[in-house]
Chains A and B, each alone.
Chain A
């Protein structure tokens, strides 16, 4: 099972991911409809893309009184069934990361569903900041980067 990783040392806040997500779900390029949100903190020059982590024990899923939120067996995505969602916004309150937003036109909650296993934000990320990988891959990748970094600190005798 894979999830979306975000590398803040690569994101350039170009917003391709946000628009690709909006397009996938609405057919328009409207950032407000995107499930991935990219924040840019100008003062400290931090680029921070953020999207659902599809928690194993998901707070949103736990709390949803309409049982509209389920885990997709195939992709591992935590998904909202828009037919069941009552628009009570409990999930929005419950998610500690703010990864669920409210769709004002349809009066229901919206979140990332991993696009059936082909997340469009990742496909549109031109910097490589977003990757769709397994937890194992992600950890291996980070380890390699860290080891390379350590290697640069070492000056040969």
Chain B
């Protein structure tokens, strides 16, 4: 028998990229454990991490290229599939123009380079239409923060005197972040959790602030008012490095604790109390904004209002605050400078120019309309890798209809997902254990590399996939590297670091030690070069220059037909977005979706845990079992459904066309719904 081989790599079962040991026996991955020396996770690995073994060896993994023939799948030779796909792409682009092709990057299979490769490919074949799930996750916070300070800084929890976890549940969303948060608390820091639900994180909070969905901007402005009034602000920072303080302070003035109570449901005296606690800890205050703040009608401005607190407190780029990581000079693969294509009208950039300006993201929600209406121009083909929009984009019915209407839909995947089922070609992808890719850890200012540990013959890795297509489409000069090792070397070229060095540093190679208050020497990456309490750029686009607060519709204009408000997307152990539902072991632990409900609401509806209800919004309906949670977990009238369940897909009822006007994020977290018990006789 062969000896067990040991590799050191990075986990990709969620976005944390914990360091891992991978053990291989007879060419098969047999175990994954936490890498002791790794800077991020220090040897600890959540149960999802171990599931990498299930992922790579899954019996239902796609290993053969498939082509749809009528209603059947037919196996097809890999190179033949590339040939046919390339031919079809050519035909679409010749008939409808280059921009009629879209490229969609998921995040399921790779690390740092997967995104830039997809962006590069889109531009290499002359299309500005690069899509990803980022137009409805993550980027909303990124833009909110970047509008204020030019970037989204990284939390230095371990050194914070006061940590505020706002709309995030790290134990399930970014598991090993929990270590540093609680390290900070062990070091004497206070932990404040602001959330709609009493999350796992909230169980350790010194102060848990339960807020009504989508009202966070009012609280942030209310805190600002208190901090300014009680003079708990950093005059030095405000005076020297900020823009628009007076207008912002003036705007915040209206948010008295009483008004905040009315908007957010948080008692006025708690607002006063929290503001004092945060203010007294300045500048070592670490405010972390989570995904709970996105997916609202006023999402970006709510995030901006929170981002502004860093400026008031002087906690930006401070030890124990939100510090701005220094970048490593990696070479970029994108072609935005070399071959800008904005004149071709990237989808969504007309309606949501800020989204494109800041992130060069096209708008996936608008893409569905474009496919269906051919407006403003035809979008006829899509190549999608490692994403499942049929389950994770809002308004699933429309998504499925649109993807089905494409002339060419290619999906590169690990499994036959709900999205892959709609494709004309499905190509098998390589997992994160099957190829070598770089990844940075901004918070540790370190960089790592994954080794190729096992391979499967027809499962090409990202670079190979794009390269093979590009070579057939006359774009080979954009993909000149023989393989990903050459590519990695090219990316690293200007850093002075070699691939070998990275393999010698599985703990993450620290490229620079941290420095604070860099703004004293360098400007902020904003139009004014300062920290922007107000944004003239936004004003130029016709938006409010201050982070204005607009109450969610369910508050400002309640509709008696839809008396409940539904939050979606809370994270659960074992599951990362739409993934892992096909692993049997996970189903033993968490077998199905659920709607979380307050005992009072359950009583009124006459339902108990396990009973099935029909939840209806103006978009559609979904049937789902109830879980009655303890009183303190959620407010009466508020409910929560986690996405990613095919059998009870909550995105059948979320809105694709009610968007934050600035970044276009869809309304998925304060959805007005009605709930009816599903009686036996109603069901089939």
**A40 touching B203, Cβ below 8 Å:** yes
* A6 at interface by CB-CB < 8 Å: no
Q: Looking at the complex, which one of B34, B172, B203, B633 makes contact with A47 (CB distance below 8 Å)?
A: B203
B171 / chain A contacts, CB cutoff of 8 Å: 12, 14, 126-127
The DSSP consensus for interface residues of chain B is helix
Stretch of B175-183, B304-312, B316-324, B488-496 contacting A (4+ beta carbons < 8 Å): B175-183
Does A13 belong to the interface (CB within 8 Å)?
yes
A32 to B586, CA, bound (A): 14
Partner of B47, one of A9, A20, A148: A20
Other-chain residue from A30, A40, A127, A148 in contact with B182 (beta carbon distance below 8 A): A127
A29 and B47 contact, CB distance less than 8 A: yes
User: Quick check: A10 and B203 within 8 Å, CB to CB?
Assistant: no
Q: CB-CB contacts of B570-613 with A at 8 A, as 1s and 0s?
A: 00011000000000011011000000000000000000000000
Q: How large is the interface on B (under 10, 10 to 19, 20 to 34, 35 or more residues)?
A: 20 to 34
Distance between Cα atoms of A11 and B200 in the complex (Å): 9
What distance in Å separates the Cβ of A44 from its nearest Cβ neighbour in chain B? 11
Residue numbers in B under 8 Å from A12 (CB-CB): 171, 178, 200-201, 203-204
- Is A14's CB under 8 angstroms from B175's CB? yes
When A14-B172, A29-B588 are in contact, do A124 and B204 touch as well, CB less than 8 Å?
no
B68 within 8 A of partner (CB): no
Given A14-B171, A14-B200, A123-B43, A23:B50 Cβ within 8 A: yes
Closest Cβ of chain B to A76, distance in Å, is 21
Given contacts A126-B175, A126-B178, contact A15 B573 (CB under 8 A): yes
Interface window among B184-192, B265-273, B398-406, B442-450: B184-192
> Is the contact region of chain A dominated by helix, strand, or loop, or is it mixed?
loop
Tell me, rounded to whole Å, the shortest Cβ–Cβ distance linking A15 to chain B.
6
Q: Whole-angstrom distance from the CB of A118 to the nearest CB of chain B?
A: 8
Beta-carbon contact of B172 and A145 below 8 Å: no
Q: Which residue of B lies closest to A15 (CB)?
A: B573
Bound CA–CA A134/B585 (angstroms): 33
A9 touches B45 (CB 8 A): no
In angstroms, how far is the closest chain B Cβ from the Cβ of A50?
Answer: 16
Chain A proximity of B523: nearest CB distance (Å): 37
Known: A28-B588, A123-B33, A126-B175. A20 touches B50 (CB 8 A): yes
A residues sitting closer than 8 Å to B (CB atoms) are: 9-16, 19-20, 23, 27-31, 40, 42, 45, 47, 123-129, 145, 148-149, 152
19 A–B contacts from the bound complex (CB under 8 Å): A12-B178, A14-B175, A14-B178, A14-B573, A23-B47, A28-B585, A28-B588, A29-B585, A29-B588, A30-B588, A42-B633, A123-B34, A124-B45, A124-B50, A126-B44, A126-B171, A126-B178, A127-B204, A148-B188
